[in-house]
Structure formats: C-alpha cells, structure tokens
C-alpha cells in the first residue's frame, strides 16, 4: 500500500528570511492525519536567505538530521561542535538529555536550501552527540546508498533508532529497487526531480508512506532526481 503526500498539501511557514514546507505537523501547522510516520517525526524543507538563520535554541530526546540541497548551512552547538554542512553531507545531532544549537546560512550572498529531519530515538536520556559524513554523487548514483543506520555500517552515520536511511540519485529512465522486509515500512521523500514509485508518479517535495509492500521500485523521470528512503520498523 502506497499513500502519497503531495508537496502542495504540506504545511507552510514564511517569515521572510525563512520559507519552510512541513511534511508533518510542526510549529503552528497542525494536521492530526500527519503527525509523523513510524519513528519519523519531522521533514521540513527550508530555504533561508543569505546571512540569516535559526538563533540558539534547545532540543532534547530527538535525532536531528540535516541534509543540504544547495548552499551551505553553518551549525554550532553547546557541546562545542561547529561545522558547515554542504550538498553531499549528512549531519546527525542527538539532542538526548538536552542541547542548545544554532543554524545559519553560511553565505552572505547565496540562499541555503536544506531538509531538517527529526527521528524519535529508541531510548530517551542519551548523551548528546554529533556526527557528520560526506557521500559523493558517484556513491548515490543509480543505487540506494546507505547514509544512516542504527549500527553505522558501510560508512553511514549512526542513528539511535532502528532506521536505515538511504539516498539515491537517478537519471531519466534509470531504475533502482529496494526490498522491504516483513514488519517494516518505508517513507520516500523526493528531494528533487521526479520518479515513478511502483508506477505512481512523484515530483519534488512529494512524499510517500509505504506499507505491506515487499519491494520498492523507482524509475527516474527527470534529468536529475534525488530521493531519500527511510526503512523503519512498522
């Protein structure tokens, strides 16, 4: 069973410096039908104007993943971590017992476009932590490249939850598939371009909840397509 979450139906927030699209309920946007999916709680697509960003604020008991599409995002936090996240990077911040951080557009001239993803941890009260790795375009081309997992296998970042996060880039007509084991579900998020998901068309910003399917098959339907796939416990 595949349930499409069309991009145009997402929640919106626009503060001038920030243009955000919410796949699930977040902030002032509330939809009881979209409170998350399995352990996936937030997918926000954010565009931040040059030199602007989110001032220091707190989180706890959440796995927060940043995935930059264009530009550069500067991250600083209360455990002494500072970095700039660029396209190809995947950053995981475990809020755990509590963390303060800020996120700003690292450029004074170019916007930054990124996804902010929240995943519920399997255990509350863990020690706050951070991890960031880079995955090249070649690694993701025409395959599902594991970029996040519970055990950090295959060079992926570690997520404190039974979630396998894959990234893939596809040319028009290129096909990739992924088996979905019993007792597991998946969420597909189209980052850019367009795909056919088991023969259902999806375009940039669309999401899809996938359950009771034994295999997920994607075919690129645009020149450059990029997707994220979350394989999770039902």
Domain range list for the chain? 11-134, 137-233
3-state secondary structure of 139: helix
- Is the pTM here over 0.75, yes or no? yes
Is 160:171 a contact under the CB 8 Å cutoff? no
How do residues 44-80 score in pLDDT, each as one tens digit?
999 999 988 877 777 788 999 999 999 999 877 766 6
pLDDT at 78: 66
Residue 132 corresponds to which tokens in the numbers above?
Answer: 């960031």
For 115-144, the pLDDT digits (tens) are 999 999 999 999 998 899 999 999 999 999
Cβ atoms of 36 and 26 within 8 Å: the answer is no
Residue 111, Cα to own-chain centre: how many angstroms?
Answer: 19
Q: What is the rounded distance in angstroms from the CA atom of residue 135 to the CA atom of residue 132?
A: 10
Q: Which helix (H) or strand (E) holds 138?
A: helix 137-140
Q: Would you state the pLDDT for residue 204?
A: 97
| CA angle, 19 then 21 then 26, to 5° | 110
**Matching fold, domains 11-134 and 137-233:** yes
Task: Output the CA angle 11-232-34, nearest 5 degrees.
Answer: 20
CA atoms of 27 and 47, how far apart (whole Å) = 16
What pLDDT does residue 72 have?
92
Q: Does residue 43 contact residue 34 with C-beta atoms inside 8 Å?
A: no
CATH 3.40.50.620 fits 11-134, yes or no: no
Furthest C-alpha separation in the chain: 48
pLDDT score for 52: 87
Q: How far is CA 37 from CA 2, 34, 44, 169, in A?
A: 13, 8, 14, 23
Query: Can you name the CATH fold of 137-233?
Result: Jelly Rolls (2.60.120)
Residue found by looking up tokens 């416990």 in the block: 233
Q: How far lies 113's CA from each of 146, 172, 174, 203, in Å? A: 22, 23, 25, 17
Average pLDDT per consecutive 10 residues, the chain (234 residues; last block may be shorter): 97 94 96 97 97 80 95 79 89 88 86 96 92 96 97 97 98 96 97 94 98 96 95 97
């Amino acid at each position: 069973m595949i349930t499409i979450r069309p991009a145009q139906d997402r929640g919106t927030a626009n503060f001038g410096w920030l243009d955000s699209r919410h796949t699930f309920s977040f902030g002032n946007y509330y939809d009881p039908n979209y409170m998350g999916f399995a352990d996936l709680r937030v997918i926000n697509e954010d565009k931040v104007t040059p030199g602007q960003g989110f001032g220091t604020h707190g989180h706890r008991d959440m796995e927060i993943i940043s995935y930059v599409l264009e530009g550069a995002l500067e991250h600083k936090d209360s455990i002494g971590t500072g970095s700039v996240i660029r396209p190809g990077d995947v950053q995981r911040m475990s809020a755990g017992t509590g963390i303060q951080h800020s996120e700003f557009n690292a450029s004074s001239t170019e916007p930054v476009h990124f996804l902010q993803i929240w995943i519920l941890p399997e255990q509350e009260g863990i020690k706050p932590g951070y991890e960031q790795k880079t995955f090249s375009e070649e690694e993701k081309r025409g395959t599902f490249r594991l970029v996040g997992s519970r055990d950090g296998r295959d060079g992926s970042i570690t997520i404190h939850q039974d979630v396998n996060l894959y990234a893939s880039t596809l040319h028009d007509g290129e096909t990739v598939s992924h088996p979905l084991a019993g007792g597991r579900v998946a969420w597909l998020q189209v980052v850019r371009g367009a795909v056919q998901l088991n023969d259902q068309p999806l375009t940039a910003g669309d999401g899809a909840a996938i359950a009771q399917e034994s295999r997920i098959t994607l075919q690129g339907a645009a020149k450059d397509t990029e997707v994220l796939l979350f394989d999770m416990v039902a």
